[in-house]
A and B are shown apart, each in its own frame.
Chain A
Amino acid sequence: MTVAPKREDYDVVVIGAGPAGLAAAATSAEAGLSTLLLDENIGPGGQVFRAIASTPVTERNQLGADYWVGADLVQSLRASNAEVIHRATVWSLDRNLDIAVSIGGASAFVKAKRVILAIGALERPFPIPGWTLPGVMTAGAAQTMLKSSALVPDGRTVIAGQGPLLWLLAAQILRLGGRIDRILDTTERGNYFAALPHAFAFLTSPYFAKGLSMMREVKAKVQVVSGVTELAASGDGQLASVSYVAGGKRETIPTDLLLLHQGVVPNVNLAMAAGIEHRWDDLQLCWSPVLDASGNSSVAGIAIAGDGAGIGGANAAVVRGRIAARAAVDALAPASAAKLPATMATLRSDLAKAERGRLFLDTLFRPAPQFRIPSGDTIVCRCEEVTAKDVLDSVAIGATGPNQLKAYRRTGMGPCQGRLCGLTVTELMAQARGKTPQEIGYYRLRAPVKPITLAELAAVPKSEADVKAVVRG
C-alpha cells in the first residue's frame, strides 16, 4: 500500500489527480516523458470526478454525464506509462523543483525537470454566525460523501448560497432520494444586471442549457427562497436552526444540516510556498497565480493547470492540463511533440470554447460583501477561533496585514494554514484599513504545507554533511 516513487528524478511530476492532473500526466507520459503523478486522495478524480473509479452510485444518470467524463480521463492515464501514487501528500516544493512527499507516514524526495501543479480549488470560506457548529458543512462536503459513499442528507436539510455547484448538488441529492427542505439563494439582485452584458457568450456555452434544466428539476421539488441578504446558524453545541432575511423579512427554520456554498477559489498553499507570484483577482475575489498562456508560473519549470490557475471549471481544467503538459514536452523533448494528438493551436481553441460564459458566471455569482466580510463575534479563523471583532481590534492597535496579525492573534497558524480564513482576513483587513486586498497581501506560506509528524521529519535520510551542518563542535 505504501509505495514510494520508483525513481529519484522524473522529467515531469504532476501534483493532483483531478481533471487537469489526469490530463496532464497522460499527455506527458504519452509523449514518452518519465512522468510521476502524486495525489492526496484515495483514488483518482480530484473533487469534480471524486471516486470516479470506485463510486457505489451505479445509476449513471444520478451523477450526470459530466461526471462520467472522468472515467475516460482515468482510462487514458492508465493506458499510459505514467507512475501514479495516491494517498501521497506533497508537503514541499521549491524553486529547484525538489519535491517532498509523505506516503504512508514516510517522506520521499523526488526531483523534476518540470512540475505541473494541478492542485485545484477549494470552496470559498462562508463565514456566517454559527458556521463552526456541528451540522454545518460545505455543499462540496455533502457532494463528496454522495459520490464516494452514496450518503445523502437525511434530517431537515437547508442548502444556502449560490453558484452552479449548489444546483448540481441539490439535483444529485434529490435523484438519490435524499432530503432538502429549503434552498436559500444568496445571489445579489444587482448581479443579474451586471452579468447581462456577458449573457450572450453564456447562452452559447454548454453550461446554459444544462444549468437551466437542473434548476428546473430542483425547483419542482424544493422551496427556493431567492434574494437572501442575511444568514445565521445557531444551536447549542449542534446546529438547531437557520435564520435568514429575504425581502426584508426574517425567518427562522429548525434545521439539522446546513450546507453552505458560494463558489470555489484556487488552492494556493503549495504554489505560494514554492514562491510563485500571485495577484488579487477583483472579479473572482481571490488570489490567482500569474501565468503565461501555457500555464508557466513566475518560477522557472513550474506550471499550474486547472482551477488552481484561476477558476475555469472542469472542461477548461482538462484542456489547461494538456496545454501545460504539451509545453513541457516542447521544452524537454521537442521531437516527441509530434506524437501528441492535438497541436497547441487546437488546444488553445479548445480552451477558448471551454472558457466561454465564464465571465457571465463570475459576475452573476460574485458573492455579496456581507457573506465574505463578517463582523462582531462571527468566527473568521476556525482553527484558532478568532472572531471578526478580534481582527478589527488588532488592526486598531497596529496590525497592518495578515502576517503581522499572526503575532497578534495566531490567525492562519492552525492546522489548516489559512485555507479557511486567508481570504476573509485579507478582505477584512483591507476594508478596515481602506486598502486594496492586493496592498494588504496574504499570509506568507511555507513548507510543510500539510502537517507532518516530527518523527517523520527525523526519519528523513541524511548525509554526513547534513548532520555536520547542524551539529555543534
Chain B
Amino acid sequence: MFRRSEQDKRPQVQIFVDGVAVAARQGDTVSAALLASGQDARRSTAVSGAPRLPYCMMGVCFDCLVTIDGVGNRQGCLVPVAEGMQIEIQKGKREIGR
C-alpha cells in the first residue's frame, strides 16, 4: 500500500511483529512501520472481530491500537519504534493482564 521514498536515509531499526523481524526506520511510528512493512498488520476489533488498519495516523481514531512490549491498546501512531521492540497485532478483545 505504501513504499519508502529513495531519499529516506534514516538508519534502520529492527522491530518484531508477532515474533517476525521487520526493518523500520528511526523516527517511524509503530503504525507507519507496520504499514510500510508489507506484512498483514490488520487487527480485529473487540466488538465484532472486523479487520482494521490505522485510519487517521494522528491519534484520534484508535484504529491503530496494538500491543507494544506487552502493554495492550497502545496507539501505534503515537509511539516511535525502538530497537528490539516487540509488537503484537491485537485480535479481538483485550485479555486480562495485558
Tell whether B39 is near chain A: CB-to-CB under 8 Å: no
Per-residue A-contact encoding for B59-73, CB less than 8 Å = 1, 0 else:
111110100000101
Q: Is the CB of B62 within 8 A of A41?
A: no
Q: Is the CB of A145 within 8 A of B1?
A: no
Chain A residues with CB below 8 A from B71, complex form: 105, 453
Q: Which among A149, A415, A453 has the highest number of chain B CB atoms within 10 Å? A: A149
Given A122-B58, A415-B65, verify A149-B36 contact (CB < 8 Å): yes
Q: Is the CB of A152 within 8 A of B65?
A: no
Q: Is the CB of A153 within 8 A of B57?
A: no
Given A57-B7, A419-B60, verify A149-B1 contact (CB < 8 Å): no
Measured in the bound complex, the distance between the Cα atoms of B73 and A30 in whole Å is: 39
Residues in A438-472 with C-beta less than 8 Å from chain B:
451, 453
Main secondary structure, interface of A, reads: loop
Given A42-B80, A54-B27, A132-B52, verify A145-B7 contact (CB < 8 Å): no
Given A41-B78, A149-B4, A451-B73, verify A134-B61 contact (CB < 8 Å): no
Q: Which of B28, B60, B61 is within 8 Å of A267, CB to CB?
A: B60
Q: Is the CB of B60 within 8 A of A385?
A: no
Kindly provide the distance from the CB of A270 to the nearest chain B CB, expressed in whole angstroms.
12
Q: What residue in chain B is nearest A138 (Cβ atoms)?
A: B56
Q: Is the CB of B62 within 8 A of A134?
A: no
Chain A residues with CB below 8 A from B65, complex form: 415
Q: What residue in chain A is nearest B65 (Cβ atoms)?
A: A415
Q: Is the CB of B32 within 8 A of A145?
A: yes
Q: Is the CB of B10 within 8 A of A256?
A: no
Measured in the bound complex, the distance between the Cα atoms of B98 and A245 in whole Å is: 46
Given A51-B27, A56-B10, verify A419-B61 contact (CB < 8 Å): yes
Chain A residues with CB below 8 A from B21, complex form: none
Q: Which of B29, B42, B47, B52 is within 8 Å of A42, CB to CB?
A: B29
Q: Is the CB of B7 within 8 A of A136?
A: no
Q: Which of B7, B53, B58, B77 is within 8 Å of A135, CB to CB?
A: B53
Q: Is the CB of A385 within 8 A of B47?
A: yes
Q: Which among B10, B36, B61 has the highest number of chain A CB atoms within 10 Å? A: B61
Q: For the complex, count residues of A whose C-beta is within 8 A of B.
A: 53
Kindly provide the distance from the CB of A17 to the nearest chain B CB, expressed in whole angstroms.
13
Per-residue B-contact encoding for A229-268, CB less than 8 Å = 1, 0 else:
0000000011000000000000000001100000000010
Tell whether B8 is near chain A: CB-to-CB under 8 Å: yes
Given A40-B78, A122-B56, verify A134-B42 contact (CB < 8 Å): yes
Q: What residue in chain A is nearest B7 (Cβ atoms)?
A: A58
Chain B residues with CB below 8 A from A42, complex form: 27, 29, 78, 80
Q: Is the CB of B55 within 8 A of A382?
A: yes
Chain A residues with CB below 8 A from B25, complex form: 56, 149
Q: Is the CB of B36 within 8 A of A137?
A: no
Chain A residues with CB below 8 A from B62, complex form: 383, 414-416
Given A134-B51, A149-B36, A420-B61, verify A140-B5 contact (CB < 8 Å): no
Measured in the bound complex, the distance between the Cα atoms of B60 and A283 in whole Å is: 24
Q: What residue in chain B is nearest A414 (Cβ atoms)?
A: B62
Tell whether A154 is near chain B: CB-to-CB under 8 Å: yes
Residues in A56-76 with C-beta less than 8 Å from chain B:
56-59
Measured in the bound complex, the distance between the Cα atoms of B47 and A154 in whole Å is: 31
Tell whether A396 is near chain B: CB-to-CB under 8 Å: no
Q: Which among A105, A151, A384 has the highest number of chain B CB atoms within 10 Å? A: A151
Q: What residue in chain A is nearest B80 (Cβ atoms)?
A: A42
Show 5 A/B contacts (Cβ-Cβ < 8 Å), sorted by A.
A57-B5, A140-B56, A140-B57, A151-B2, A385-B45
Known: A42-B78, A141-B55, A151-B2. 11 other contacts (CB 8 A): A42-B29, A134-B53, A137-B54, A137-B56, A138-B56, A140-B58, A142-B57, A145-B32, A149-B25, A151-B3, A151-B36
Q: Top 10 A-B pairs ranked by shortest CB distance?
A: A141-B57, A134-B53, A150-B5, A415-B62, A150-B8, A56-B8, A154-B3, A144-B57, A151-B2, A419-B60
